[in-house]
Amino acid sequence: MSLVLIVDDIAAMRDQYAYDLKRLGGHLTLEADGGRSALDHLETEDVDCMILDLEMPDLDGFQVLAEMKRRGDRTPVIVYTGTGSYERCVRAVKLGAYAFLAKDEPLERVVQEVDNAIQWARLRDEVKKLRRTAGHDSPLVGESRAMQELRAGIDQLAAIPSAVLVLGDSGTGKELVARQLHDRGTRSRHPFVTVNAAALPESLAESELFGHEKGAFTGADRTRRGAFEAAHRGTLFLDEIGELPLPAQAKLLRVLEAGTITRVGATAEIKVDTRVVAATNRDLDQEVREGRFREDLLYRLNVHVLRVPALSERLSDVPLLASHFLTLVAERFGQRAKSLAPAALERLVTYDWRRNNVRELRNVIERMIIASGGDVIGPDAVPADIGPAAATGTDGWQPGAGPLKDQKAAAERAIVLTALERNGWHVTNTARELGLADHSSLLKIMRRHGLKR
Q: Which of 84, 106, 135, 383 binds ligand ATP (CB under 6 A)?
A: 135
For residues 217 and 133, give the distance between their C-alpha atoms in angstroms, rounded to a whole number.
Answer: 40
Which of Mg ion, ligand ATP, none lies near 171, with the C-beta cut-off 5 to 8 A by kind? ligand ATP
Cβ-closest position to ligand ATP: 173
Instruction: Tell the smallest beta-carbon distance from residue 174 to Mg ion (Å).
Output: 5
63, 52 contact by CB (below 8 A): no
Q: Decide which of ligand ATP, Mg ion, none touches 176; Cβ closer than 5 to 8 Å per partner kind.
A: ligand ATP
Considering only residues 327 to 356 of the shown chain, the ones binding ligand ATP according to CB under 6 A are: none
Minimum separation from the CB atom of position 304 to ligand ATP (A): 17
List binders of ligand ATP among 162-191 (CB under 6 A).
Answer: 168, 170-176
Are the C-beta atoms of 309 and 167 separated by less than 8 Å? no
- Residue 193 β-bridge partners: 236
| Residue 172 interaction partner, one of ligand ATP, Mg ion, none, beta carbon < 5-8 Å per kind | ligand ATP
8 A C-beta contact, residue 45 and residue 78: no
Give the footprint of Mg ion on this chain (CB under 5 A): 175
CA–CA separation, 32 vs 11, rounded Å? 9
- Site residues for ligand ATP, 62-91, by CB under 6 A, read none
Q: How many residues bind ligand ATP (CB under 6 A)?
A: 19
| Binding test (CB under 6 A) with ligand ATP, winner from 359, 367, 426, 449 | 359
Angle between helices 107-133 and 11-25 (to 10 degrees): 70
User: Smallest distance, Å, CB 279 to Mg ion?
Assistant: 6
- The one of Mg ion, ligand ATP, none whose footprint includes residue 200, by CB under 5 to 8 A per kind, is none
State how far the Cα of 15 lies from the Cα of 36, in Å rounded to an integer.
Answer: 19
One residue of 142, 226, 309, 393 binding ligand ATP per CB under 6 A: 142
| Residue 219 binding partner per list ligand ATP, Mg ion, none, with a CB distance cut-off of 5 to 8 Å that depends on partner kind | none
Residue range at the interface with ligand ATP (CB under 6 A); choices 53-61, 96-104, 136-144, 432-440: 136-144
138 binds, among Mg ion, ligand ATP, none (CB under 5 to 8 A by kind): ligand ATP
CB of 168 to ligand ATP, least distance (A): 5
Quote the CA–CA distance of 327 and 137 in Å, as a whole number: 14
Q: Under a CB-based contact definition with an 8 Å cutoff, are residues 150 and 308 in contact?
A: yes
Contact pattern for ligand ATP over residues 231 through 270, marking x by CB under 6 A: ----------------------------------------
Q: Where are the beta strands (DSSP E) in 357-425?
A: 376-377
Q: How far is the CB of 349 from ligand ATP (least distance, A)?
A: 16
Please report how close the Cβ of residue 134 comes to Mg ion at its closest, in angstroms. 14
Residue 28, contacted partner among Mg ion, ligand ATP, none, CB below 5-8 A by kind? none
Question: Which of 28, 30, 59, 141 is the binder for ligand ATP (CB under 6 A)?
Answer: 141
Residue 48's nearest CA partner among 86, 24, 76 is 76
Long-range CB pairs of 321-326 (<8 Å, 24+ gap) are: 321/141, 321/142, 321/358, 321/361, 322/348, 322/361, 322/365, 324/138, 324/141, 325/361, 325/362, 325/365, 325/366, 326/365, 326/369
Q: Is residue 434 close enough to count as binding ligand ATP by CB under 6 A?
A: no
CB closer to Mg ion, 175 vs 229: 175
C-alpha 97/C-alpha 77 separation (Å) is: 5
**342: Cβ contacts below 8 Å, ≥ 6 apart:** none
- For 175, 239, 301, 414, the CA distances from 167, given in Å and listed in that order, are 10, 11, 11, 26
Exactly one of 112, 281, 302, 323 binds ligand ATP (CB under 6 A); that residue is: 281
- Phi and psi of 362, rounded to 5°? -60, -45
Beta bridge partners of 167: 280, 307
Q: Is residue 133 within the footprint of ligand ATP (CB under 6 A)?
A: no
Residue 48 interaction partner, one of Mg ion, ligand ATP, none, beta carbon < 5-8 Å per kind: none
Which ranges in 77-161 belong to alpha helices (H)? Answer: 86-94, 107-133, 145-158
Q: Does 362 bind ligand ATP (CB under 6 A)?
A: yes
Measured at the CA of 346, the angle between CA 342 and CA 352, to 5 degrees, comes to 155
Q: Footprint of ligand ATP on this chain (CB under 6 A)?
A: 135, 138, 140-142, 168, 170-176, 281, 321, 324, 358-359, 362
